[in-house]
Structure 1
Amino acid sequence: MYLATTGRREASAPPSTGGAGRRVPGTVLALGTVSLVTDVSSEMVTAVLPLYLVLGLGLSPLQFGFLDGLMGGAAAIVRLLGGHAADRGHRYKRVAGIGYALSACSRLGLLLAGGATAGIAAALAADRVGKGIRTAPRDALITLSSHPDGLGRSFGVHRAMDTAGALLGPLAAFALLWATAGAYDAVFVASFCVGLLGVLLLVLYVPGHRPVPHTAPAPRSGKAFGALRDPAFRRILGAASLLGAATIGDAFVYLLLQRRLGLSSGWFPLLPLGAAAGYLLLAVPLGRVADRVGRRLPFLYGHLALLGTYLALLAPTRLTGPPLLVTVLALLGVFYAATDGVLMALAGSTLPADGRAGGLALLQSGQAVARMLAAAGFGAAWTVWGPDPALWAAAAVLLAALAGGWALLPRVRSALPATDGSPGSQTPERRTV
C-alpha cells in the first residue's frame, strides 16, 4: 500500500551511501520468494470468491460489501498482537512463520469443509488471521535489513515478487481444474502443498534479525501504540486511514467492470491478473522514484489513479470494450504500485527499530478497518441507490480524502540507521524540505 521530500533534494542533505542504497538485501529477496510462493497458494483459492459469493450463492451487494470488508478488517486486532509479539525479543521471523503456517493449514480447512458455509468461512478466517499475523513482522524485517534511502526500492522488489505469485496462482488453479475436470479438492490440496513450501523457504533462507546496535535510537515503546507518540507517524496514520475509507475494494471494481462490459462468468476470475500485471511492472520503478523524490507525492498520486479508475467506470458509453478494460486495470495497477510498499517505506522511516513491527501493524490495522467501513458503505449505497450513484459518491469522497491526505502527510524525510551492519548505518536525522 511517506514522509517525503518534494521533487528535489535539499542541497544541504547529505548524499546517500553509495552501495548500500543501491543494493537490494538478501533478506528482502528471500522474503520476496516466500511471499511469491505463498501468494501462489493463496490466489489459487481466492480468485473466484467474488463471483462465487455474488453470482453463485446469490449474496446482495450489501451482504457482499459487509463480508468483503469483514474479511479485510477482521485481522486488525491479530495484526496488532503479531506486531507487538514480534518486537518483543526481535522475534520477527518466528511470528511471521506462525502466520505463514496458519495460512497454509487453512487450505486443509477448505478441503475438510466440503460445501459447508460455516466451514468455508472458518477456513477463510484462518487464512486472514495468518496474513494479519505475518504482515507487520515481514515488513519490519524489510525495513530493518534495508538502507533508509533504499526502502522504496526494497519494498518495490518485494511487492513485485509477491505480485508475481498473485499472477501465477489463478493460472495454476485454472490449469488444475482443466486437468482434473473441475475437481476443486485438487486445487485445495495443491494450494496446501505450495503453502508449506513457502513456510519451508522462510525457515531455511530468511535470517532472524539480531538486536539493534547501540547507534540506533532508544525505543520509545515496544508496544504498537507507542508509535502514536510521534506526530509524524500520527499524521501518516490519519492520512492512510482517511484515504482507506474512500477505497471501495477491488472486488467491487471487478464486479462493476463485468457489469459494464457484460463479461461472462468464465472470464471474471482473470480480471485481477490485469491489475496484478501492472503492479508487477511498476512496483520497482515507482519504489525507486519514491526513494528519489520523496514518498509523499507518489502515495497521493497513486490515489489519484484510483480516482481515475472510478471515473473510467462512470465514463460515457463510448468508453467501453477493450479500452475500458485496459484503462481500469492499468489504473488499478498504478494505484497499488504507488501506494502499497510506498506507505510501508514512508512509515518505516519514522519508527524506532524496537517498535517497528508494532507501528507498522497499527498503520496496517487502521487502513484495514477504514477499508472495511468503505466496502460496507459502498455495498449499502449500491443496494439503496444503484451502482452508478454509489460510485459517484465514492469518487466524491475520494476527492475529499485526497485533499485531506495532502494536508495531513508530513513534508519531512526521516532517515533511521540501517540495522544490518551495512555501510549505510548512521546516526538518524530528520531533514525538513
Structure 2
Amino acid sequence: MYLADSRRHARPSADAAPALAPGRPARTTVTRIAPTVLALGTVSLITDVSSEMVTAVLPLYLVTALGVSPLGFGVLDGVFNGASATLRLLGGLLGDRAGGRHKTVATLGYGLSALCRPALLLVRTAPLIGLVLAVDRVGKGLRTAPRDAMISLATPPERRGRAFGVHRAMDTAGALAGPLLAFLVLRGAPGGYHAVFTVSSYVAALGVLVLVLLVPGRGLRPAAAPAARPRARGLLRLPALRRTTACAALLGLATVSDSFLYLLLQRRLELPLAWFPLLPLGTAAVYLTLAVPFGVLADRIGRRRMFLLGHAALLAAYGLLLARPGTDVSATAVTATAAAGAVLLLHGVFYAATDGALAAVAAGSVPEHRQGAGLALVGTGQAVGRFVCSFAVGALWSRWGDTAALTVMTAALTTAVAAAVTLLRPVPGRPSPDHREAEFS
C-alpha cells in the first residue's frame, strides 16, 4: 500500500518547514513539526478525552445497565462506527471546494459531536441512544478528512508519516486520559454514568473553542486548485487510490471494533467489571508510545509494509483471545492477566502501525486540491468495512457464542491480510508505487 508522497507540482504550504539556510543543521528542519499540526493535535487530544470517557463506559452501560443483547449491541456499535462513513466523503468534498474550506467543515463536525454529549443525559432507551451515537459519528465523519487534509497540506511530503504520527500521538494522549477520568468519576460515584456524560460535555465544548481560536484557517489552501468543483467520481480514476481504498475496506471487514474487543477480553478472561473502563488505557498507552516512532519508521521502510505489519499484530491479538487460560485457579489468574496485557499491547501496536500510515498513504496518492476527498474515500471504505463487521460479530455472538464469532473473524482477517499482500503487490509494467499517480485527466 506504500504510495510515496513525492509531488511533481507541489509547493510548500504556509506551515511547512522552510528550506535549509546556509550553515543550518539539517536535523533542525527534519524534526520540525508545523504549528498547524500541533494545534490540531491539541484539539484532537481534548476531544478524545471527551469521546473516550463515553466510549470507555458505553459497552458496560448498554449491556449491564440497559440489558442490551450482544446482537443489539452489535447494531448500536455498527451505528457508532459506521455512521461516519455516510458523511466522511461529503466532508472531504466540502473541504476541497472553493480552494479549501477545511477548517470550516472540521469545526462543524467537532461542534456537532460536542452537542451529542449532553444529549446522552436525556435519553434512556437503546434506539434513542443509537440515534445520538449516529449523530455523533456523523460529526466525526464530517471532521476527519478536512482535519487530515490540513495536516497533509501543512507538511512536506517526505515528512507526512512523522506529522501524522505526532498528531495521532497527541490524539492518543486524550484517549489515554479519557478512560482514566471516567474511571475516577465512577469510583467517586459508582454507577454514575450520567456524571461521566456531564464531564464529557464540558470537555467537548473546550475542544471546539480551541479549534476556533488556535487552528489557522488560512495558509492551508492547495497550491493550484482547479476552477471546477471537486467530484468524487474522478478519484476512482486513480489506480493506486482504488487499490488503497479496496484494501482498507477489505481489512475493515475483519477488524473487530474496540468495544467488542474489550467485551471479549473481559468475558473470555473473566476480568473484574470494575476494571472494564481501564482496558482502553492499555491500548492507548502503547499507541501513544509508538505512534511517532512508527510514523518515522513508516517513512523509511514504506507505509504499505507498516500498514500490513500492523494487521499482523491484530491477528496475533485474536489468536491470544482464542487461547483459554489454564484450569488451576492461581495459574488462571496469572495467565489471564498476562494474556490481557499481551492483547492490549498488540492492539496498541496495531493502531500505531496503521492509523497514521494509512492517512499518509492516501495523502500521497492524490493531487493537493483533492486531499480532503482522497483521504475521505479511503476512510469511508475502511469505515464501511468495520460497520459491516460489527453487525456480523453481534449476529455470530448471539447465535453461536463469542468463541465462534472470534474464530470467524480470525479466519477472515487471515484471508484479508493475504489478499491485501497480493492486491498491493506492484504490477509489472506500471510505474513504481514510490511515485504519485498522475493528475486527473
For normalisation by structure 1, the TM-score amounts to: 0.87
Shift of 1:54: 2.1
Structure 2 residue 147 is the aligned partner of structure 1 residue 104: no
Task: Return the letter of the residue paired with 2:181.
Answer: A
Return the match for 1:335 from 334, 340, 350. Answer: 350
Aligned residue pairs, count? 405
Pairwise CA RMSD: 2.4
Equivalent residue runs for 1:142-221 within 5 Å: 142-179=151-188, 183-210=192-219, 211-214=221-224
Task: Return the letter of the residue paired with 1:31.
Answer: L
Tell me what 1:3 maps to.
2
Contact 1:86/1:357 (8 A) holds in 2: yes
Equivalent residue runs for 1:358-369 within 5 Å: 358-369=373-384
Shift of 1:177: 3.7
Structure 2 vs 1, CA of residues 186 and 256 (structure 1 numbering), >3 Å: closer, same or farther? closer
Shift of 1:61: 2.0
Contact 1:45/1:187 (8 A) holds in 2: yes
Return the match for 1:380 from 388, 395, 401. Answer: 395
Shift of 1:327: 0.8
Task: Return the letter of the residue paired with 2:337.
Answer: P
User: Any stretches of 5+ residues in structure 1 without a counterpart?
Assistant: 6-15, 417-427
Structure 2 vs 1, CA of residues 20 and 347 (structure 1 numbering), >3 Å: closer, same or farther? farther
199-208 vs 219-228, which moves further: 219-228
Q: Using the alignment, how far apart are the partners of 2:259 and 2:118 within structure 1?
A: 25
Secondary structure of the corresponding residue to residue 54 of structure 1: helix
Tell me what 1:271 maps to.
279
Shift of 1:359: 1.4
Tell me what 2:136 maps to.
127
Shift of 1:63: 2.2
User: Any stretches of 5+ residues in structure 2 without a counterpart?
Assistant: 5-18, 21-25, 327-331, 427-431
Q: Using the alignment, how far apart are the partners of 1:116 and 1:401 within structure 2?
A: 36
Equivalent residue runs for 1:237-248 within 5 Å: 237-248=245-256
Structure 2 residue 408 is the aligned partner of structure 1 residue 398: no
Q: Using the alignment, how far apart are the partners of 1:353 and 1:59 within structure 2?
A: 45
Tell me what 1:349 maps to.
364
Q: Using the alignment, how far apart are the partners of 1:65 and 1:358 within structure 2?
A: 29
Task: Return the letter of the residue paired with 2:149.
Answer: A
Shift of 1:406: 0.7
157-166 vs 251-260, which moves further: 251-260
Task: Return the letter of the residue paired with 1:212.
Answer: P
Shift of 1:341: 1.0
Q: Using the alignment, how far apart are the partners of 2:227 and 2:266 within structure 1?
A: 49
For normalisation by structure 2, the TM-score amounts to: 0.86
Q: Using the alignment, how far apart are the partners of 2:287 and 2:212 within structure 1?
A: 28
Q: Using the alignment, how far apart are the partners of 2:92 and 2:218 within structure 1?
A: 14
Structure 2 vs 1, CA of residues 20 and 229 (structure 1 numbering), >3 Å: closer, same or farther? farther
Task: Return the letter of the residue paired with 2:242.
Answer: R
Tell me what 1:323 maps to.
338
Q: Using the alignment, how far apart are the partners of 2:191 and 2:252 within structure 1?
A: 37
Structure 2 residue 306 is the aligned partner of structure 1 residue 291: no
220-229 vs 121-130, which moves further: 220-229
Secondary structure of the corresponding residue to residue 289 of structure 2: helix
